[in-house]
Structure 1
Amino acid sequence: MTIRIKKASPEEAEQIALMVKRLTDEIIDAIGEKPFNIDLAETSARCRRFLEQELYAVYRAIDSESDEPLGFIALCESHALYAEGAFGIIQELYVDPAHRARGIGRRLVEAAMNHGRKRGWKRLEVCTPPLPQFAGTVQFYERQRFDVTGGRKMKVLF
């Protein structure tokens, strides 16, 4: 299998939304809670809008022979004084379970890092899913040179 990493276009939003649903379903199943409410039509429309407005950059991993989507990484740009200006945030990263441990996630992170370098980012940040259920995810990011910075992800809903 030959794997290609390609920047996504707005026309691929539906395919990306489907993978987002698979990602969030996997997290829900592992933690036994439902912190996400993914409606495919709404998520697809939102993804299309984000890509059209260049609020998101998405890179897809594709099987070159079958054109089957194998995974994706979604990024957005943020700004902070502590980060010395612009930086990137990995919002979602997903690789189909049948294709994990083949270097696809690493290649998607490399695409994200290259994107960030071109944009002049000083850093790339990520918030991992809950521990201990996703300790393997933390280990994956550590292998990609990410450092644990502490703290917890928190939110308030409006």
Structure 2
Amino acid sequence: MNTTSLIRQAGVDDVEVVAVMVGELLTEIMHTIGESVFNVDLPATRSRLREFFLQQRYVVFLAETEQHQPLGFIALCPSYALYAEGAFGTIPEFYVRPAFRSQYVGQRLLEKAKAFAHTKGWTRLEVTSPPLPHFDKTLAFYQREGFSIAGGRKLKHLL
């Protein structure tokens, strides 16, 4: 099945649909790796996302059918680092619903994100893949789209 998708910038009116897909993304990762590493709290996610939109700290591009059925999304945040030679973009969440994968939805979302990054003058886009080897296909997708492994692992310290 090949689905025609439209890509548009999401806003406050899209909080519900994006928050639901964030929950789907996190649940899929936890189910696949067999560990409960995220707190999936839909009301808190909705509230946080609404604030991010209102503060213009977070940009989301939403893929949907012509009938407005949501297929996936990509989120972007500005970041700054000396190693990156200035401002760059981080992709904190990127998700395509399973039924619509391998139909170029993810590729089109990433193309939109790259075009947006150029308009902001960002030097690069960075993304962290979900845990490997469980998500080798995800890593292969990013590499096909021009991303290269930068080394290291993502670490966190909860405060």
TM bin (shorter chain): over 0.9
Number of aligned positions between the proteins: 157
Superposed counterparts of 1:5-20, under 5 Å: 5-20=7-22
Question: What amino acid sits opposite 2:14 in the alignment?
Answer: E
Question: What amino acid sits opposite 1:118 in the alignment?
Answer: T
Query: How far apart, CA to CA, are the structure 2 residues paired with 1:25 and 1:86?
Result: 31
Query: How far apart, CA to CA, are the structure 1 residues paired with 2:80 and 2:140?
Result: 27
Superposed counterparts of 1:44-123, under 5 Å: 44-64=46-66, 66-123=67-124
1:72-130 Cα offsets, whole Å, 9 max, x none, are 00010000011010000001000010010000000011111011000000000000000
Name which of 1, 4, 16 aligns with 1:2: 4
For the aligned residue pairs, the C-alpha RMSD in angstroms reads 0.7
Gaps of 5+ in 2: none
Q: Sequence identity, in percent? A: 49
Query: How far apart, CA to CA, are the structure 2 residues paired with 1:134 and 1:52?
Result: 33
Query: How far apart, CA to CA, are the structure 2 residues paired with 1:4 and 1:39?
Result: 28
Structure 1 partner of 2:43: 41
Q: TM-score if structure 1 supplies the norm length?
A: 0.98
CA displacement at 1:18 relative to structure 2: 0.2
Structure 2 partner of 1:135: 136
Runs of 4+ in structure 1 deviating by more than 4 angstroms, as ranges, are none
User: Partner of 2:35: helix, strand, or coil?
Assistant: coil
Structure 1 partner of 2:150: 149
Q: TM-score if structure 2 supplies the norm length?
A: 0.97
Query: How far apart, CA to CA, are the structure 1 residues paired with 2:21 and 2:35?
Result: 19
CA displacement at 1:2 relative to structure 2: 2.4
Gaps of 5+ in 1: none
Query: How far apart, CA to CA, are the structure 2 residues paired with 1:58 and 1:52?
Result: 12
